[in-house]
């Protein structure tokens, strides 16, 4: 497993981040812990969750953080894992933003309690609230960092305009500021705002330019588009009603299929390897239900893409 340091931090992380939005939901709690064991054994050390994860499923709330916390304590591996979580998600029912200082403090303390840790390594604001100044939000995060509750902070689903404003404010105040941005980004990416939740942001040319100019790390979610290309390869009918099933993405698939055969690697490995060719640190979040999917994703670390392939994928996917 390759590792790299997230710029402006002392967080040395694996080339892929294991996303745990559905741990204990799409697999059992025990299966989820076995998957975490396998990831750690393979050299992975970067895991991603959020305060809100699993809250859309009836029953236990904050299940993802709770299971991870139990695993960290049971295995005694807290010092070997870089834990990222997110707070500040809008209320799931009324959609009202939750980025007041009080709400942010409640979310952070809730995450610390569920994860059974004294400090979060990388803490994201899950969404933005453009009715609040970036100064107000960064001041709170800076306070969290100064009190030792978080090591570094980041944003998720922020526009490049707001990220630039936050970057400028942090620089003026002498803060470290956001060290990473988590956005929806895949070779099968939606352009602009994805359908459904309009508060989510996707990689686009303006966001890419921001990352290139500032060097801020990108840590994309939905990096494999839910396995869209692999599913299309084996059972096209299973994805015909998917939001990813577009003429453009079918064209991308045809290209990736040819590259896969030429390089003798899986399409999913090509999809992941593309992220490591960017002019800024890019660490894709992988969502694996079982060890077979995990093993395939981890093989991507050794996949090297020719320059013409990188350029073609970029042309096909970034607006």
pLDDT digits (tens, 9 = 90+) for 168-178: 999 999 999 99
pLDDT tens per residue, range 203-238 = 989 999 999 999 999 999 999 988 889 889 888 888
- In this prediction the pTM is 0.95
Residue 79: predicted pLDDT: 98
Let me know if 53 is a catalytic residue.
yes
What is the rounded average pLDDT of the residues 38-48? 98
Closest CA to 6 of 146, 161, 180: 180
Average pLDDT, rounded, for the chain: 93
Angle between helices 101-115 and 134-146 (to 10 degrees): 40
Residue 85: predicted pLDDT: 98
pLDDT value at 95 more than 90: no
CA angle 217, 221, 224 (to 5 degrees): 115
pLDDT value at 76 more than 50: yes
Q: Per the structure block, which two tokens stand in for 149?
A: 């509750």
Q: Kindly report which listed range (122-131, 184-193, 291-300) carries the lowest average pLDDT score.
A: 184-193
Residue 314: predicted pLDDT: 87
Residue 190: predicted pLDDT: 52
Domain 3-317 = CATH 3.40.50.300: no
- Cα-Cα end-to-end distance for the chain: 32
Catalytic, out of 53, 123, 167, 221: 53
Instruction: Decide: 68 and 47 in contact? Cβ < 8 Å.
Output: yes
Instruction: Decide: 110 and 51 in contact? Cβ < 8 Å.
Output: yes
Q: What is the domain partition of the chain in residue ranges?
A: 3-317
Round to whole Å and give the CA distance between 161 and 194: 18
């Amino acid at each position: 497993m390759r590792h790299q340091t997230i710029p402006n931090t002392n967080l040395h992380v694996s080339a892929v981040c294991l996303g745990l939005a559905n741990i204990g939901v799409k697999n059992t709690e025990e299966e989820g812990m076995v998957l975490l064991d396998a990831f750690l054994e393979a050299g992975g050390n970067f895991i991603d969750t959020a305060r809100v994860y699993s809250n859309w499923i009836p029953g236990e709330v904050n299940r993802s953080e709770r299971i991870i916390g139990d695993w960290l304590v049971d295995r005694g591996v807290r010092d070997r894992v870089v834990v990222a979580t997110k707070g500040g998600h809008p209320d799931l029912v009324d959609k009202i933003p939750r980025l007041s200082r009080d709400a942010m403090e409640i979310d952070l303390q809730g995450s610390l309690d569920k994860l059974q840790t004294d400090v979060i390594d990388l803490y994201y604001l899950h969404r933005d609230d453009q009715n609040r100044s970036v100064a107000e939000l960064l001041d709170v995060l800076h306070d969290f960092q100064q009190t030792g509750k978080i090591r570094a902070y980041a944003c998720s689903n922020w526009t490049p305009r707001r990220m630039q404003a936050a970057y400028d404010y942090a620089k003026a105040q002498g803060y470290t500021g956001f060290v990473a941005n988590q956005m929806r980004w895949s070779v099968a990416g939606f352009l602009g705002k994805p359908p459904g939740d309009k508060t989510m942001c996707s990689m686009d040319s303006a966001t890419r330019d921001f990352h290139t100019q500032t060097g801020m790390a990108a840590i994309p979610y939905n990096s494999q588009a839910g396995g869209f290309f692999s599913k299309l390869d084996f059972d096209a009918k299973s994805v015909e009603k998917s939001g990813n099933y577009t003429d453009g993405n079918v064209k991308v698939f045809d290209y990736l299929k040819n590259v896969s055969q030429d390089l003798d690697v899986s399409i999913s490995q090509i999809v992941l390897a593309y992220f490591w060719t960017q002019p800024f640190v890019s660490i894709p979040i992988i969502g694996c239900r079982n060890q077979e999917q995990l093993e395939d994703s981890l093989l991507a670390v050794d996949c090297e893409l020719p320059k013409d392939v990188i350029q073609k994928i970029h042309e096909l996917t970034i607006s």
